[in-house]
Chain A
Amino acid sequence: MNGKKVMALAGNPNVGKSTIFNALTGARQHVGNWPGKTVEQKKGYFEINREKIEVVDLPGTYSLTAYSIEETVARDFIIKDKPDVVIDILDASNIERNLYLTLQILELTDRVVVALNKTDIAEAEGAEIDAEKLSRLLGVPVIPLIATHKSGIDRLVKTALDIAKGEKKTTPLKIAYDRAVEGRIEKIELMLKPLSLEGYPLRWLAIKLLEMDSAAVELVKKAGGKDILIDISGMEPLEGEHDIETVVPATLYDIIGKIVDEAVIYKEKGETLTDRLDRVLTHKYLGLPILFLVYGLIFGITFVLSTPLMELIDTGFNVLRGGAASILSSSGAPAWLNGLIVDGIIAGVGGVMVFLPVIILFFFMFAIVENSGYMARAAFVMDRIMHKMGLHGKTFLPLLLGYGCNVPAIMATRTLENRKDRLIAILINPLIPCGARLGVMTFIVSVFFSGLTATLVMLSLIMISLGLVFLMGVLFRKFVLPGEHPPFLMELPPYQMPGIMDILIHTGERGSIFVKKAGTVIVAVSIVIWYLSNYPGANINSSYAAMLGRTLEPLGSLMGFDWRIMVALIAGFGAKETTITTLGVLYASGGSSAGFIAGITASLTPLVAYTFLLVQMIYVPCLATVAIIKKETGSWKWTGIAVGYTLLLALILGVLVYGIGKLLGWG
């Protein structure tokens, strides 16, 4: 075949696919030590001997059935896109379970090279793997690897390329099931022959049909093979105690057992670090308090360390504004241009760049937790609580991710198998305040409150959001999407020392996404806000912004909000960061940020400020989140529900908190 060669990376979750993808392509994909990070199929390119190679990172899967989105994505790619070579990545420290997928891949294609990754961990755990022997047994090349040190990558690329070009042939091991099953497979294969089946290997399809795999059944139905399906369902059940769902995996594991016996030597291993850590971190009583402690530390440290840094950045931007203003006026620029640049763009971007410390610190600490292996334990510990919502522990992970950004968090719900569970997880996710909202909160809290009160106010908001997540989860499960308690099954990877480079790269990546956003979306919103608040009249009170805000003021007054806050909330729909920018423009009479802070503290009581923080934390997801909800649910109805209920919830809580606060005389 001519043209660009395509390599696909396949493997169980958490085997190091993204690490290898990054090593190959120089990309900076998210690496973390918990199963299920990569839910999308990602593409990258690299060059070798001036030849361009495409690499596709498939989602991590344990199997190739049609029970989850990721598995379907992975297997469809291998079957339909026919990559020139599949690089099957194994976790050497976990070889038995990992080989299960390998055997399934070998049933689909012979263009396979096995990358035996994490050999360092395997060695430390006392497993000695003979790669040569393994290669002979599997019938495909096996390349040992330590992806985090990039060791073995060159050999892997060379071997993969040889296979892709057809210069190296493989003879993959053939899997033979017992006689009764083989007989059926043969019969079905014969029946399938006349159909045109988009290049699906017939033997594989026959096995899938025996297993009643939904996608395989659908395919054959479409190809006009209804009769075949009837014939299959009419086949006698297998003799013996187990049915086909059990026999097929049992055969695979049987073969694996023999392979492992021959190719792996286990030395007696004592208690591992993971055993010892798990005894404490997942302890039946200590587990939950420890989780809350970790949670508290992440937020506490972010909040405490970022406040002085935020002030520093703020001062920097004020100096910049002063400088720009004097240069512009001395060079004779028209007043509107001066206003646009100084009060519109610089003030707008500055108001958002102030959050940079929050974003950086949060992602830095979160990445440490993510890379250590603790994330999966958090799911384990939370399972009992999530169970009360009718969901399971795994649903907790997308929620945690939401504190960074709700968009990838909502995509991460793909790891949930059941559609109803997934819908609930998507619907409640926006209630978790993302980095941008946390930034707004940190900023406003530090303006209105100080010392311990500030920390407590911040904590109260985060606790309220958690309470709402729980409440809405229960309500959705009970009244909107009732269902069984979903089964909880999740691999817990060994703990590891977080790689400092992984953490720095990831933090830097998130930081640069944020800065880019400030340079694009937020500049645009700032210009619009500046225009709306300066035209048509010279006075802000007769501006378009004021007109817009005033029409909403009656609603706002229920919560103590003036028109300025209503405008800020509307702007926040575009990107939550711009809430602050907008407030800055609307409250700053003098133009400087001291003017903004003086202006806003003079206009709002702490009660109104608190109510505002609560409302901005809950009301409608931002535009990007709404878009991803639409994409992931594929339905306007559920997108509408997500927007509608958050809006309603924010309104109810806003009115309640403001009303009660006033009754208590806090206003």
Chain B
Amino acid sequence: MPPLPLSLLSPNQKASVISVSGGRGLVKRLNDMGFGPGAEVMVLNRAMSGPLMVMIRGTRVAIGRGLATKIMVNPE
């Protein structure tokens, strides 16, 4: 499957992070929370709009939709 933003990943589909874009502070914060290249991520909960709930490095994290579009992932 081709790479896509995390915001479009279907629920329960595993993927690995390819890259994170955005301002310096944002990239740093996402990296700190574990969304770095290579990290395995899975969407647990997703509605038509609003935030997503994802599993990243063993932790449940709520992430705003806007942020999730900045994380490119590679579905497995």
Contacts and interface: CB of A to CB of B under 8 A. Distances in A.
Contact of A384 (B26, B32, B38, B49): B49
A11 to B, nearest CB: 14
Interface residues of B, number: 37
Nearest to B27: A245
Given A97-B57, A212-B24, A282-B53, A67 B37 contact: no
Contacts of B34: 96-97, 100, 253
Given A278-B44, A492-B53, A246 B62 contact: no
B24 A274 contact: no
Given A278-B44, A384-B50, A249 B31 contact: yes
Interface string B38-72: 11000011111111010011111111101100000
Interface stretch (A172-180, A300-308, A375-383, A564-572): A375-383
A212 B33 CA distance: 19
Contacts of B61: 489-492
Most chain A CB neighbours (cut-off 10 Å) among B30, B44, B64, B66: B64
23 contacts: A65-B28, A96-B59, A245-B24, A245-B28, A246-B20, A246-B37, A249-B36, A250-B36, A253-B34, A253-B57, A282-B45, A284-B46, A380-B53, A393-B62, A485-B66, A487-B66, A487-B67, A488-B66, A489-B29, A489-B61, A491-B33, A492-B53, A492-B60
A384 B37 contact: no
A83 to B, nearest CB: 23
Contacts of A212: 24
Most chain B CB neighbours (cut-off 10 Å) among A245, A248, A392: A245
Contacts of A639: none
Contacts of B57: 96-97, 253
Given A242-B19, A417-B29, 16 more contacts: A62-B33, A63-B32, A246-B37, A249-B36, A253-B36, A278-B60, A284-B47, A380-B51, A384-B51, A417-B25, A487-B66, A487-B67, A488-B51, A489-B33, A491-B60, A494-B60
Most chain A CB neighbours (cut-off 10 Å) among B19, B29, B63: B29
A94 B61 CA distance: 12
Contact of A380 (B26, B30, B36, B62): B62
A116 to B, nearest CB: 15
Contacts of B37: 242, 246, 250
A93 B39 CA distance: 18
Contacts of B47: 284
Contacts of B60: 274, 278, 491-494
Size band of the interface chain A makes with B: 35 or more
Most chain A CB neighbours (cut-off 10 Å) among B24, B34, B50, B61: B50
A387 interface: yes
A241 interface: yes
A211 interface: yes
Interface in A481-509: 485, 487-494
Majority-rule SS of B interface residues: mixed
A53 interface: no
Given A65-B28, A65-B32, A95-B58, A392 B19 contact: no
A174 to B, nearest CB: 21
B59 A94 contact: yes
Contacts of A248: 31
A67 B51 contact: no
A97 B33 contact: yes
A249 B32 contact: yes
Contacts of A387: 50, 64
**What are the 7 A-B residue pairs with the smallest beta carbon separation, nearest first?**
A488-B64, A284-B47, A249-B31, A384-B50, A63-B32, A492-B60, A96-B57
A241 B19 contact: yes
Interface string A272-292: 001100110010100000000
Most chain A CB neighbours (cut-off 10 Å) among B20, B49, B66: B66
Most chain B CB neighbours (cut-off 10 Å) among A376, A387, A494: A387
Contacts of A376: 62
A603 to B, nearest CB: 49
A212 B45 CA distance: 35
Contacts of B44: 275, 278
B48 to A, nearest CB: 7
Contacts of B45: 278-279, 282, 284
Interface in A51-98: 62-63, 65, 67, 93-97
A555 B22 CA distance: 53
Given A242-B37, A246-B36, A278-B44, A379 B62 contact: yes
Interface in A230-251: 241-242, 245-246, 248-250
A175 to B, nearest CB: 15
Contacts of B63: 488-489
Contact of B50 (A96, A100, A246, A383): A383
Contacts of B56: 97
Contact of A96 (B32, B48, B53, B58): B58
Contacts of B46: 284
Contacts of B66: 485, 487-488
Contacts of A249: 28, 31-32, 36
A393 B51 contact: yes
B33 A383 contact: no
Interface string A92-108: 01111100100000000
B32 A62 contact: yes
Contacts of B20: 246
A92 B30 CA distance: 22
